[in-house]
Amino acid sequence: MLSKTIGRGGFAPRHRYDRTMIAAVVFAVWLAIVLGFGIDIVKRAYGDALHFSLIVHFHALVYTGWLVLLATQVWLVRSGRAAAHRRLGRAALILLPAMLVLGPATAYYGVADNPYMPDKWIAWLSVNYTNALGAIVLLVAGVLMRRNPAAHKRLMVLGTIALTEPGFSRIWAPLLEARLGAGYLAFYISTYIGTFVLVIAVGVYDLATRRRLHPAYVAAALWIFANQALADWLFHQPFWLAAMKRMTGH
């Protein structure tokens, strides 16, 4: 049932299933991160490679903090504590700048500090950098549009979805790469199929409940897909690999 209150452009700002949809997406994000990094930790444990630099610990703390903040914010809204939701949202002013710095920095030092890093993972910086930049842009936009609930919710959800590639990739990328081989499309599917499905699912939900897409969703989805396409293209370019080798001292 569509809300009786229709917003600009004929988009109902609220629907009775909105909270369920957002909670489901947040659960999917948490599941991808926990499973993906859980698999990675197990592999590292078997290889006696559970040694991480200090910046990795800071990175994990800040990015996990963001996921905890998002889940808490969803719970506060579901429990009718909107005032607490708004107060706690100020934590984003600390977490987002930290994420913008720590995401690319952790990727950089992970490559620069390993003299035996394979070319693939050096070129993979295209994914690391576009993920961080693309997601933070959407999350900052979401914070700025907090007085527009429909846009705010979609930007915050999609911005967080854009961060989940490392979790999804650790779950199935090796298997998909082995089956699909090399190439632009194979790389995209192996790397981004998880985030792609979640982004599309949000759009399908809007179409099912409103018969239209919110402009904020359209802009955010196009931004995510453009960043992913750029990362895919850069990954396959010799000039990008050469530039990243110079930058990281390889």
What dihedral angle (degrees, nearest 10) is formed by the CA atoms of 90, 225, 191, 38?
20
φ, ψ for residue 143 (rounded to 5)?
A: -65, -45
What is the per-residue pLDDT across 173-183, written as a single tens digit (0 to 9) for each?
888 988 998 89
Scanning the chain, the segments in alpha helix (DSSP H) are 18-46, 54-78, 82-88, 92-112, 119-123, 125-144, 149-161, 165-180, 184-210, 215-235, 238-248
What is the per-residue pLDDT across 66-115, written as a single tens digit (0 to 9) for each?
999 999 999 998 888 888 988 998 999 999 999 999 999 999 999 999 88
φ, ψ for residue 2 (rounded to 5)?
A: -75, 145
At CA 247, angle to CA 246 and CA 248, rounded to 5? 95
What is the per-residue pLDDT across 201-232, written as a single tens digit (0 to 9) for each?
999 999 999 999 999 999 999 999 999 999 99
User: What pLDDT shows up at residue 2?
Assistant: 39
Domain boundaries, the chain: 14-248
In percent, the amount of the chain with pLDDT more than 90 equals 72
